[in-house]
Amino acid sequence: MRTLSGIQTSGRLHLGNYFGSMKPNLDLVSKSDESVYFIADLHALTTIHNPKELAMFREEALIDYLAIGFDPEKTIIFYQSDVPLHTELMWILLSCTPMGLLERAVSYKEKVEKGIPASAGLFTYPVLMAADILLYNADRVPVGKDQKQHLEMTRDIAQKFNQAFGETFTLPEPVIMEDVAVVPGIDGQKMSKSYGNTIPLFGDDAAIKKSIMGIVTDSKGVEEPKDPDSNVIFQLHRLFLSSAEQKKLAEKYRNGGLGYGDAKKMLLETYMDFMKPMREKREKISKDKKYLEKVRKEGAEKALHLAEKTMVKVRKAVGLQ
Ligand code: ADP
Ligand code: TRP
């Protein structure tokens, strides 16, 4: 069973990314025989045209993923662009991809509506994603709901290729993480870097304190009973607690006597305790450029080894050998 996933980074990671994507992925990885995880820097190029930013975001993402517990001895972790076979396979797959399929892509339309320039890269984004997956004959691909259509397209493209050139690719099974809760931002909307309402995963102490103390609340006084289910401080706090601890804290909200200032201070303390080991690890890793270079190089070598096996078959199938 091979699990594969990729992340496209276009900013610093936040608490919503951690509970909605990074943590569930890490849990799945530990349950797989083999796992491949890459940072989709070529995909990021469809939206970031600032070389310093692109380089910084991908390195930050690598450090963040190592800090939260991805183990390069157990997971093949690498930058997509370090394995040029992704783009070679993409070109071959483009010839088996009907225009109509790409024209139906929801994420392309949404991105263009948001103001991202409608480049051919953005339009053919799903084909590069299909190449990422098919290159490693992945059995399982865990992604968020927003990526479901891209996985269906991957399966369609693989089928078209298999029909035209003979059985070559495994059809991947999507693992859609439907049940992960939406983490609210400090203003109560979904936490998202586009809304500027995030709590950073690895920010400095002052930035974390500022965002937690800035959580928007109503004007209920200290003694008034409060409803935990509609309270953003509680909804964030519960992410770190066991169900017994959640119950206890919910009672405190309902009973009255807990003011918002104190509730925020408690959340801040819990957050800092929870993040402490990961922050210490991150601090260490980020200074160790030699280690990072080693992880990058070894990850790319292992990935290349797997990818080359597939490409030998693909080149032979299409007549390019
Ligand atoms: P953003 O909304 O900040 O741009 P991304 O779209 O880059 O975040 O999300 C990367 C991953 O993190 C996705 O798998 C997404 O489902 C998950 N994610 C982002 N924000 C949240 C949130 N508030 N709650 C749960 N999961 C989230
Ligand atoms: N498009 C995915 C995202 O935005 C990232 C990604 C690129 C990916 N290639 C992939 C995810 C292959 C899974 C498999 O989150």
| Residue range 8-40, pLDDT digits in tens | 887 888 999 999 888 888 988 878 899 999 999
Ligand 1 site, residue 21, Cβ cutoff 6 A: yes
Q: In the chain, what are the domain boundaries?
A: 2-182+289-318, 203-284
pLDDT score recorded for residue 44: 94
pLDDT score recorded for residue 91: 98
Report the chain's mean pLDDT, rounded to a whole number. Answer: 94
Ligand 2 site, residue 41, Cβ cutoff 6 A: no
The answer to whether the beta carbons of residues 76 and 299 sit under 8 Å apart is yes
Q: Which residues does the annotation mark as catalytic?
A: 111, 190, 193
What are the tens digits of pLDDT across the range 123-143? 999 999 999 999 999 999 988
Distance 173 CA to ligand 1 centre (A): 21
Ligand 2 site, residue 8, Cβ cutoff 6 A: yes
Distance 130 CA to ligand 2 centre (A): 9
Q: Residue of the nearest CA to atom 14 in ligand 2? A: 5
Closest ligand 1 atom to Cα of 20:
26
Chosen CATH of 2-182+289-318 out of 3.40.1440.10, 3.40.1080.20, 3.40.640.10, 3.40.50.620: 3.40.50.620
pLDDT score recorded for residue 245: 96
Q: What is the pTM of this model?
A: 0.91
The answer, yes or no, to whether residue 94 has pLDDT greater than 80, is yes
Chosen CATH of 203-284 out of 3.40.50.11540, 2.60.120.10, 3.30.390.30, 1.10.240.10: 1.10.240.10
Ligand 2 site, residue 143, Cβ cutoff 6 A: yes
Ligand 1 site, residue 252, Cβ cutoff 6 A: no
For range 293-303, the mean pLDDT: 98
Distance 220 CA to ligand 2 centre (A): 43
The answer, yes or no, to whether residue 144 has pLDDT greater than 90, is no
Residue 239's pLDDT band (cuts 50, 70, 90): very high
User: Closest ligand to 20 CA?
Assistant: 1
The answer, yes or no, to whether residue 179 has pLDDT greater than 70, is no
